[in-house]
Structure 1
Amino acid sequence: MVTCPAYEQPFALVVDDEPLILMDAVSILEDAGFQMLEAGRAAQALRLLGQHHDRVKLLFSDVNVPGDMDGFALAREVARRWPSITIVVASGQTKPGTGDLPDGATFISKPFSAQVVYHHVRKTMPEHTQPEPLKI
């Protein structure tokens, strides 16, 4: 398998306040070839994106995160401020309604498998920004 040097690998930001789900999502996306950033709240995610938005290619967020902004609001804000970032939102409790997700974002029901995540990321993320392991 061909791998990119770490400095060329795209970053993904995972936002979830449940440690086990966060670890699972991080592991799935690391296996897909991403370097990782993690946040437990939307406000923390926005701070990280403010610092690293030029390298982050994927936002993977839970809907139900603590704080003033849920995952849907986070997705809309990220799409508004950084439209080149691919957005995947997941939940086991809530389904998106009209206007919840920004154009081009994807919703995944929890629990999710690595194959489901890979499928949705491949489908929504421009091929030139995907890490090599996803192209196989």
Structure 2
Amino acid sequence: MTHDAPGDAPHALVVDDDALIIMDATSILEDAGFKVLEAMNVAQAMKVLEQHHDVVQLLFTDVHMPGDADGFDLARQTAERWPHIAVVVASGQAEPGPDELPEGATFIGKPFSAEIVRHHVRETMPDEKHPEMLRE
């Protein structure tokens, strides 16, 4: 699913198996100036990334989802295949162990606030890739 934002807005991919969390994260990122794509598991997320990796600038993913892979796997695969995509991993149940997050990725606990998400996106993405609304 794609949500409208300004035409030159950077794209973010939100991945979570909880529709309410997707809605919340999507709203936060849209308010920050992103155009948002959504997926409910790692397999769907990889399909979206394979089709849209050239425009996606941010991956915002949960850890625990149905399927053989989790959000840590998705974060590592994304960083390896598309190093230009900034990665933020969120979970209310798991914390990353050594080497679970790719270099440059950040982790936030759930529940999260818009302020926390915006802070981590600013820290994770290069300044020149920030949407207009996140530039300080």
SS in 1 for 2:36: strand
RMSD: 0.9
Give the TM-score, by structure 1 length: 0.95
SS in 2 for 1:128: helix
Q: Which stretches in structure 1 are left out of the alignment for 5+ residues?
A: none
Give the TM-score, by structure 2 length: 0.95
> Does 2:76 align with 1:76?
yes
Residues 6 and 33 of structure 2 are in contact (CA less than 8 Å); yes or no, is this contact kept in structure 1? no
> Which position in structure 2 is the counterpart of 1:57?
57
Q: Percent identity?
A: 62
Q: Which amino acid aligns with 1:116?
A: I
Alpha-carbon distance in structure 2 between the residues aligned to 1:36 and 1:24: 12
SS in 2 for 1:108: strand
Q: Which stretches in structure 2 are left out of the alignment for 5+ residues?
A: none
Alpha-carbon distance in structure 1 between the residues aligned to 2:97 and 2:65: 17
> Does 2:88 align with 1:88?
yes
> Which position in structure 2 is the counterpart of 1:43?
43
Structural mapping, 1:91-102, within 5 Å: 91-102=91-102
Cα deviation per residue 1:60-95 (whole Å; 9 max; x = unaligned)? 000001111100000000000000000000000000
- How many aligned residue pairs are there? 132
